[in-house]
Amino acid sequence: MAVAFPHIEFLTLDVVPLIGHIPRHNVTFEVYDFTRKLLLEDGSQDIVFLNGALEIVRDYRTLLREVYRVLRPGGLIHFSDFNPNFWDPEDITTAARRTNPRGCEYFDVVRGRLSAMGVDPNTCDKVPEWLAPGSDLWIEGENGFQDIRSDIRTYPAYPHDGFPCMGQVGAEISVYIRHLFVQSTGDGLGLLKDAGMAHDDVCRLIEDVIEEMKQPERCSLIKLYRIYATKI
């Protein structure tokens, strides 16, 4: 985006420096715990993007109030995140327990652990209500957001070549999605152990989740939320 809009100044924030970045004249990188407070002046920003922050933000309502504070009137908030679970292709409001019982067992533990840490795993479904005028998020003198739009997109957690689920993604990205699924599922090892599971049980569950998802008839969906709104 910084390349496409060289006349725009970008500020990117993270809580830890995990990824190296290519220096650009219009991008500033900062690292601090922005989940508590944004170190920015009131009304100083045109757009704020919140990408993949759910798992590290214990109080998302406070973060949204901070975004409101730093946006100018008419400024845009763009939220992008996942609701952590595997979802039934026939009803994306329902967890895929019918086809992926081990996968849903995995996410039951993950969601429980997130809740114990103070993270609401259902944040994506609640953000539009929180942003709305009249929400209990706002205090006197704060009007909230308008033009709120929630766009839920789904894609197969593990696309299978030659099967209908491939119709939702391009062939060029399917290999990446499969790799990401295996990698991210394995990355849950520490979280599952923190929830009290024995190491062998965790390894067995992760293996079962991956093998389950590799069966085309068990291909469930991931839900990605993109939420937009403008500050009143």
Which tokens hold the place of 181?
Answer: 């699924």
Q: Is the pLDDT of residue 135 over 80?
A: yes
pTM to 2 decimals?
A: 0.88
pLDDT in tens, 36-91: 899 999 999 999 999 999 988 999 999 999 999 999 999 999 999 999 999 999 99
**Long-range pairs of 207-216 with CB within 8 A, sequence gap ≥ 24:** 208/102, 209/100, 209/102, 209/103, 209/106, 209/185, 210/181, 210/182, 210/185, 210/186, 212/100, 212/101, 212/102, 212/103, 213/86, 213/100, 213/103, 213/157, 213/158, 213/181, 214/158, 216/160, 216/163, 216/165
Between helix 101-116 and helix 199-213 the angle, nearest 10°, is 130
The count of structural domains within the chain is 1
Q: Say what percent of the chain tops pLDDT 70.
A: 98
Whether 142 is covered by a domain: the verdict is yes
Whether 94 is covered by a domain: the verdict is yes
Q: Say what percent of the chain tops pLDDT 90.
A: 75
Domain range for 163 is: 33-231
CATH number of the domain bearing residue 99: 3.40.50
Whether 200 is covered by a domain: the verdict is yes
Q: Is the pLDDT of residue 22 over 80?
A: no
Whether 4 is covered by a domain: the verdict is no
Chain position carrying tokens 């991210």:
184
Of the listed ranges 1-5, 127-131, 136-140, the least confidently predicted one is 1-5
What is the per-residue pLDDT for 20? 67
Whether 27 is covered by a domain: the verdict is no
Q: How confident is the model at residue 170 (pLDDT cuts 50, 70, 90)?
A: confident
